[in-house]
Amino acid sequence: MRSDTTGFWTPVALSADLPAGTVIPARMAAGTIALWRSQTGHIAASADRCPHRGMSLSHGFVRGEVLSCIYHGWSYGRAGNCLRIPAHPGLTPPDAIRVVTHDVRDTGGIVWVASGIPAGDPPDLDGFTPLRSLTADADRAALALAAGAQADEDGRLVTNIAGQDLCLLLADQPEGRTLIHVLVRSGSDAAARIAASRSVERLRRMAESASHKGGVQ
């Protein structure tokens, strides 16, 4: 875990897993956010809680350029301001009704969300392409042990399994879990991609098994 900067980027999802017009929950170390992409492709991240009655916004829906809560349809723009309260169609919602938003970037096929104010851009992925994301019930140390390599301060771990280079982007989750984004060398064919997906399943199993035996401190 880095401690040197005022802010940092967390890789929360693959770009391909967030199509236009959808919202998904994304876990940051500090809590859950609602991550959404508008119909025209603009991406946004907000607190995962509608201020009206506390409903999780990641259960909501995206119509056009706004995110709406599933409970009462309260709608929010990308900047977090409330645009519509369906129970009162004639009312312009007061500016004070808003959700906290986070800076978000969509680069290298990964969606990154800012904690604090990061000094620079999200890290470059040098020739790697995202494959899939999965969650391990094991911490970073257990995964490093299973992979035989350490993650750098950005959570990037490069390893070679069965002759194949893999880059794992690790993001800490609550309750000792770790979100793993798996990247393969750009240009890998379908068979190599499927092999990589299976390799990481195996790696996760090893890390979890070690964690549950208490073998990893």
The DSSP symbol for 61 reads: E
145 in contact with another protein (CB under 8 A):
no
85 in contact with another protein (CB under 8 A):
yes
201 in contact with another protein (CB under 8 A):
yes
Number of residues that bind another protein (CB under 8 A): 49
- Contact between residue 114 and residue 107 where contact means Cβ atoms under 8 Å apart: no
Report the residue number, 20 or 119, with the smaller CB distance to another protein.
20
21 in contact with another protein (CB under 8 A):
yes
- Contact between residue 108 and residue 125 where contact means Cβ atoms under 8 Å apart: yes
Tokens linked to 189: 């064919």
Residues 6 or more apart in contact with residue 152 via CB below 8 angstroms: none
* Single residue of 2, 5, 7, 64 touching another protein by CB under 8 A: 64
Give the whole-angstrom CA distance, residue 149 versus residue 118: 26
Length of the chain: 217
> Site residues (CB under 8 A) for another protein?
13-14, 17, 19, 21-22, 24-25, 27, 31, 48-49, 51-56, 59, 61-64, 68-73, 85-89, 91, 97, 131-135, 174, 179, 190, 193-194, 197-198, 201
